[in-house]
A and B are shown apart, each in its own frame.
Chain A
């Protein structure tokens, strides 16, 4: 047929904000704040059936949080089936809202929500994950971290942590709770709040999952934290290497790593300097679902180093470091020495 056939869909993807947080942390307060503030934007809101407070919005959809496993041989690849259907339905009335906000139940594991945006082609085509916003209660977070793995996971997955109920804690308590959050997730942006009073722009329109923005924020590893005994199951590790990365070695390593350890690796992000390539390669993964692409040239004067950050459980620092280091191209210096040493033998 003619050459004019083109299946590309030029329409913009609708941004989706995922709102997580433990029961009573102030999630619905933040949601209502976003909805009622005069910003001229219209949102479709997907709430769970057991919401704490009423939601004041024209377009509210009840979700069942139906999680199912994809048949792709990966037990950690769970997605939200209801979300796939709801987004499919919402797209039919597109044009009547500017964004979607998905509120999860307090006990929800954020992974299936995030993975839905990687795993389902229709959802990927129609929407983009804008950010995962986790609301935590400054007073009760330490207790939640002690008694529920979900509270840790919600922080581990967060792009933005709204540290709420600041009026109920002392400065020392606040500092300690921030330290706990940083230890789990060093790159999340922490926003202190009382009654969830954060600027809307700090939680909406963040584009935090765009590959271009990966590691734009320097992860805030606390000084000496690496040597500390960790007080939570979920930790983060960051590695940086000097020599360029061999794409084939990296692909082989990361594929194997995600396939075998994907369940424990909650989020992975990397910016890589591929050998012979002037553009930066950005990489991210949620459990074992990965996404990567070139995201434009290295900036003038910017050191071309490759860095990768893992957030997860039972992470073996030396093994991960050695694995990443082995993805570098061979050291010309070392190779040169080798030749020099052999030289006389051949002569």
Chain B
């Protein structure tokens, strides 16, 4: 029940009255339907977990075992520790560097993008000024423009500015989330009471102070969604860093691992490096997804239902 409670706390007040019935939503609750439903869910779970299971086993094997033994069970040797050490130390610990780069890009990018989107969305929702609708319309168009269509011209632009192949070339585009601004604006108009702002003004608070104390606090549920969304999309991004970065010491983990896996044809020892590297990069993400999924409010729909 605590999980449900946490989730409900993030919901706007109007949906809260659904809470008492939330566990009691279906007409069919016979024993047979429980068995069938759970059976289907188990089969589907196998589909989603099998590749992860495979890589856990593969990371314990030597290259010979990888090809000789059954992929769904352990090989004759248990080589996990050797493989992990090899992944972490290969080429002067470049894997650790890639991982740190990904953390930097995703962490700084997501925090910055969330803050800027919150400020922008709040301004669009709570102030009236000329050009407000034009700005919102333009940003909304930005939500629909494919990111990869922008990456190529952005590379040409950044080359001219001397920014290509630097940390900035990946960080700067990661700091913008048109979707985040869209969500924050909708959330701010729906759940932030203007009379609260008036009261704060009467108390002598400055406008920026009102945003930083009152605004950010009320926007928190939307900010969590924007942050998670941006974090995952930067972490998963491949096209932008591929286009921007030539120096492999600036690579995020996606580019680095692809670099390793593309060498397996010529150098079979890269099989061990790749499977070990994939395992090491999946573990923290897996834990993060399991912990974070309860906060994931799929806030996209919040705008769509209004």
Q: Do A and B bind each other?
A: no
